[in-house]
């Protein structure tokens, strides 16, 4: 039936949530489980002290040596089991760690059963109702509650099964007694010797079962929250390599924004190191890797400070976009951010060159080209590898403008579109009628005056 199938699927999804965890998270979860097990065992000492106090409070009700022995031997076994469990958990490598969790739960449930039987023998006067109606049944919640400290559904289920075995054994013992009376009278059931069989068979197990589901669902919610949190942090870490922190927060709040391919206005910045081919020939691969890493780190930092998004590294070149994935609502702001980022890149390079000169290293020069226009923006690629990028004539033009820096002997060139969007400032030098490679129409470029 559909209803039972959906219930089965829901239970399966709860108990198999661990399968969704990547390996590193499974290892972290195992460490947390180990810490939870240690805390649970230490908490057992608190429970043991409370049980000992309860035993002392009921000394007046015990009138046989057997009663004393069973009560305090059970408490003694409880503390010995707790000490042994703690000793096993403290070992760095032990095959008994996981196994003894179940053994300890089983011992706890057996000790509770022994205690109930002991009170039945010394105070039950042979009345089988004592086994079914004793308030000591609530003690079975203690080992069940300890399962909350660990993220293992199997421990919860195992503790519940132990309770069911003991409880239904009590009911069987009561019903097998020839003096047992089964009725439907609640007064006699609660205060007398009669048993309402259906209530005895269902009520307490159902309550315990509800608690089992509640505890299991609480564990499931914690694990699912951990999984979502880890996924979110992984996503943020990945995105932070390409987008500024402000944009990362917006993207995480609306992940679909990266998957929506669309046309939009974007400002594109290209940067390239001058004479990099000759420069790289003087360095061994390790030195070259260290150089590029430091260069990229410095450039990306100032790019992110100006709300830029790193599209890609192409060798020594850097492609940056402003207005992706979400364009600014303020007209011209993306272009202003791009120009500000370019100036910051040049300033950062100046500071780095001063450090390099003090170390006897050669200076680095870069060229930067900026253009603004309509592009296609979205995730492009195959199912095996997707890349969020922008494509279109605007991108090609920005790259060509950067290349023109060599011919015009400038470190920073912007198109007339960008110059207009930043307010047409007077301090920029105008180069008219520049024919860029691969283009038929000439364009005007602007370089900032020294």
List pLDDT tens digits, range 38-88.
888 888 888 888 888 877 777 777 666 766 777 788 888 888 888 888 888
The arithmetic mean of pLDDT across residues 271-278, rounded, is: 87
Q: Is 224 exposed, middle or buried (0-12, 13-18, 19+ CB in 10 A)?
A: middle
CA–CA dist 325, 261 (Å, integer): 10
Nearest to 205 by CA among 120, 147, 152, 137: 137
∠ CA 113-117-119 to the nearest 5 degrees? 120
The pLDDT, as a whole number, for residue 416 is 93
CA–CA dist 70, 136 (Å, integer): 15
The pLDDT, as a whole number, for residue 260 is 61
The pLDDT, as a whole number, for residue 41 is 84
**Are 97 and 33 within 8 A, CB to CB?**
no
The pLDDT, as a whole number, for residue 379 is 67
CA–CA dist 136, 121 (Å, integer): 14
**Are 51 and 253 within 8 A, CB to CB?**
no
The pLDDT, as a whole number, for residue 344 is 94
Q: Which 3 state secondary structure label does DSSP give 337?
A: helix
Contacts of 298 by beta carbon, 8 Å cutoff, 6+ apart: 348, 349, 352
Backbone angles phi, psi at 448, to 5 degrees: -75, 135
**Are 143 and 211 within 8 A, CB to CB?**
no
Interhelix angle 197-239/2-15, rounded to 10 degrees, is: 60
Q: Out of 36-45, 177-186, 307-316, 365-374, which region has the weakest mean confidence (pLDDT)?
A: 177-186
Where is pLDDT greater, at 261 or 266? 266
Domains and CATH numbers, the chain: 1-238 (no CATH), 245-448 (3.30.70.1230)
The answer on pLDDT for 336 being more than 90 is yes
Backbone angles phi, psi at 323, to 5 degrees: 105, 15
Backbone angles phi, psi at 292, to 5 degrees: -65, -40
Nearest to 446 by CA among 434, 272, 275: 434
Where is pLDDT greater, at 189 or 200? 200
The pLDDT, as a whole number, for residue 4 is 57
The arithmetic mean of pLDDT across residues 387-416, rounded, is: 88
The answer on pLDDT for 25 being more than 70 is no
What average pLDDT is seen over the chain? 81
Beta bridge partners, 319, equal 270, 312
- Radius of gyration for the chain, computed over Cα atoms and rounded to the nearest angstrom: 37
* Residue 44 to residues 104, 162, 172, 240, Cα–Cα distance (Å): 11, 18, 31, 45
The pLDDT, as a whole number, for residue 309 is 85
Nearest to 160 by CA among 144, 147, 146: 144
Nearest to 371 by CA among 392, 388, 386: 392
The pLDDT, as a whole number, for residue 418 is 94
């Amino acid at each position: 039936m559909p209803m039972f199938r959906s219930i089965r699927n829901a239970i399966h999804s709860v108990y198999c949530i661990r399968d969704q965890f990547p390996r590193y998270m499974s290892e972290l979860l195992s460490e947390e489980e180990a810490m939870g097990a240690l805390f649970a065992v230490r908490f057992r000492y608190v429970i043991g002290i409370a049980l000992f106090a309860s035993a002392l409070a009921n000394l007046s009700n015990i009138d046989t040596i057997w009663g004393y022995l069973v009560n305090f031997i059970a408490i003694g076994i409880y503390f010995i089991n707790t000490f042994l469990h703690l000793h096993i958990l403290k070992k760095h490598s032990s095959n008994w760690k996981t196994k003894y969790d179940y053994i300890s739960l089983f011992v706890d449930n057996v000790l509770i059963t022994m205690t109930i039987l002991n009170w039945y023998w010394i105070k039950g006067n042979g009345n089988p109702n004592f086994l079914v109606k004793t308030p000591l049944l609530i003690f079975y919640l203690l080992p069940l509650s300890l399962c909350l400290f660990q993220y293992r559904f199997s421990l919860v289920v195992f503790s519940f099964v132990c309770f069911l075995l003991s409880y239904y054994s009590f009911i069987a013992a009561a019903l097998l007694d020839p003096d047992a009376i089964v009725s439907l009278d609640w007064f006699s059931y609660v205060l007398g010797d009669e048993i309402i069989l259906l209530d005895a068979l269902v009520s307490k197990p159902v309550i315990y079962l509800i608690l089992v589901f509640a505890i299991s669902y609480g564990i499931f919610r914690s694990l699912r929250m951990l999984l979502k949190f880890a996924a979110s942090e992984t996503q943020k870490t990945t995105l932070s390599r390409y987008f500024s922190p402000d944009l990362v927060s917006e993207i995480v709040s609306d992940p679909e924004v990266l998957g929506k391919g669309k046309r939009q206005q974007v400002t594109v910045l290209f940067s390239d190191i001058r004479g990099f081919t000759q420069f790289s020939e003087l360095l061994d691969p390790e030195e070259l890797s260290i150089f590029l890493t430091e260069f990229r780190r410095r450039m990306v930092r100032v790019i992110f400070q100006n709300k830029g998004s790193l599209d890609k590294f192409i060798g020594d070149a850097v492609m940056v976009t402003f207005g992706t994935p979400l364009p600014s609502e303020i007209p011209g702001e993306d272009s202003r951010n791009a120009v500000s980022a370019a100036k910051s890149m040049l300033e950062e390079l100046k500071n780095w060159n001063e450090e390099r000169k003090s170390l006897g290293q050669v200076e680095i020069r870069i060229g930067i080209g900026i253009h603004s226009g309509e592009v296609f923006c979205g995730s492009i690629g195959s199912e095996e590898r997707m890349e969020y990028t922008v494509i279109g004539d605007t991108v090609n033009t920005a790259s060509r403008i950067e290349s023109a820096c060599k011919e015009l002997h400038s470190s920073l060139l912007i198109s007339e579109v960008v110059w207009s969007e930043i307010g047409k400032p007077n301090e920029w030098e105008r180069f008219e009628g520049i024919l860029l490679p691969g283009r038929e129409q000439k364009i005007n470029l602007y370089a900032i005056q020294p």
